[in-house]
Amino acid sequence: MNIEEQVELLMLGTEYGDEDLKKSMAAELRARLLLAEKEKRPLRVYCGYDPTSTDLHLGHTITMRKLRQFQDLGHEVTFLIGSYTALVGDPSDKNKARPILTEEQVNENARTYTEQAFRVLDREKTKIRYNGEWLSKLSLVDLIRLGQNFTVQQFLARDNFAKRLEKGEPIFLHETFYALMQGYDAVAMETDVQVGGSDQLFNIIVAGRKLQEALGQKPLVGVITAILPGTDGVQRMSKSMGNIVPINSGANDMFGKLMSVPDSAMGLYMRLVTRWTPHEIEKIEADVASGALHPRDAKMKMAAEITSIFYTEEEAKAAQENFVKTFQQKEIPDEIPEYVLQDGQTVVDVILAAGMAESKSKARSLIDQKGVKLDGQVVERDTPFPHRGVLQVGKRRFLRVK
């Protein structure tokens, strides 16, 4: 890849909440890549992980996928275990203080976490470090000097702190230490690029860059990834929301859950989780938009691609075959009537012609109520009939459209 192609890939799926900031980070990344190429040295890239649990889901792996892209381009990647930051608890994505873990809990979680991470990262090319290496050596005076670079107003302006303050909910003093500690991680490792989710924007763009500059280093480039929605396509993927795709529950389970993701969320999943290039993703989306590729088939490709990252190609293929057999064909009777599609007919036209509804308004009502499916996929609106297959209207009426 040339430098422009590298920037396009590495900025794929990023989200800064501000287009000017995104352009600025892309420009800084381009400059760093050019400098690294000139100096013939890899960029120092890291992402920090606080091992607060051992059950990882797809949402946890988004930043790992970005790290893998840097690895594949030849850069030095550090997987940083937040052995000390986990003792404080990251307030970034929470509306209340996180529970504080013991060192024993952190160490046990870290062992499981790293093993699961190597299903995305290249084990041979990954440095594992613990931020206790340097944070444990900071004195109270050191912490005071780090704190001199920030105002209380900067912390209170953060969205989650502002909301808690407005509601009269407590904000504990130790929670403000977290950004200082994470910022110092970047200083200790002389970081060129830090990867993190959009909930880490303050910690990376404000704290990390500011501390590096204050301590005589060139401010890092923040590569901020979007947050993966869960299988509902709306809410952030979270165990408490019940919308997760676990990475340890087997290929069949992963494939099936990915197939339940709404069409509207497919773009984010392709950009955040797959190994596809920006041009490959654009081609799939263009084919879906033009009707050359059915959304169901695009989702099949996506589910197979993602499943094959965490399992083998053979397991992903078997999972797809199992899904088709179990879910798409499970309700179809052995003998159903057939219908030959006429030129220009819409879904409603076919429903009426086959006597599956009494009127156009009734047929449209069934579509609005998600009561019409083609090959197991819900038909969202009345359009020219998409392709041949099994049309289901309601629970018991089937038609094989040829």
Q: Could you report the per-residue pLDDT of 309-331, keeping only the tens digit for each?
A: 999 999 999 999 888 876 665 55
What CATH number is given for 3-225 in this structure?
3.40.50.620
Nearest CA to 331 out of 385, 367, 371, 375 is that of: 375
Q: How far is CA 201 from CA 81, 137, 185, 226, 342, in A?
A: 19, 26, 15, 11, 54
| Length of the chain in terms of residues written | 402
Q: What is the mean pLDDT of residues 270-274?
A: 94
Identify the CATH homologous superfamily for domain 239-328: Tyrosyl-Transfer RNA Synthetase (1.10.240.10)
Architecture category of domain 338-401 in CATH: Roll (3.10)
Q: Is residue 94 predicted with pLDDT exceeding 60?
A: no
Q: How far is CA 391 from CA 56, 230, 342, 385, in A?
A: 38, 28, 15, 10
The pair phi, psi for residue 43, each rounded to 5°, is -75, 145
Which residues, at least 6 apart from 46, have a Cβ–Cβ distance to it below 8 Å?
77, 78, 79, 80, 185, 186, 189, 191, 193, 194, 195
Q: Is residue 207 predicted with pLDDT exceeding 60?
A: yes
Average pLDDT of the chain to the nearest whole number: 87
pLDDT at 95: 44
375 versus 219: which is more confidently predicted?
Answer: 219
62 versus 248: which is more confidently predicted?
Answer: 62
**244 vs 292: CA distance, rounded Å:** 31
48-57, 66-75, 206-215, 356-365: least confidently modelled range: 48-57
Domain segments of the chain as ranges: 3-225, 239-328, 338-401
Read off the amino acid at residue 180. Answer: L
Q: What is the mean pLDDT of residues 297-309?
A: 94
Which residues, at least 6 apart from 26, have a Cβ–Cβ distance to it below 8 Å?
7, 11
pLDDT at 34: 96
pLDDT at 334: 60
Q: Is residue 93 predicted with pLDDT exceeding 50?
A: no
Reduced to 3 states (helix: H, G, I; strand: E, B; else coil), residue 238 is coil
What would the pLDDT profile of 28-51 be if each residue is shown by its tens digit?
Answer: 999 999 999 999 999 999 999 877
pLDDT at 272: 93
Nearest CA to 57 out of 273, 338, 259 is that of: 273
**398 vs 331: CA distance, rounded Å:** 9
In the DSSP assignment, the letter for residue 47 is E
For the entire predicted model, the pTM comes to 0.73
**210 vs 197: CA distance, rounded Å:** 19
What would the pLDDT profile of 120-175 be if each residue is shown by its tens digit?
Answer: 899 999 999 999 899 999 999 998 999 998 888 888 877 778 888 888 888 888 77
pLDDT at 54: 67
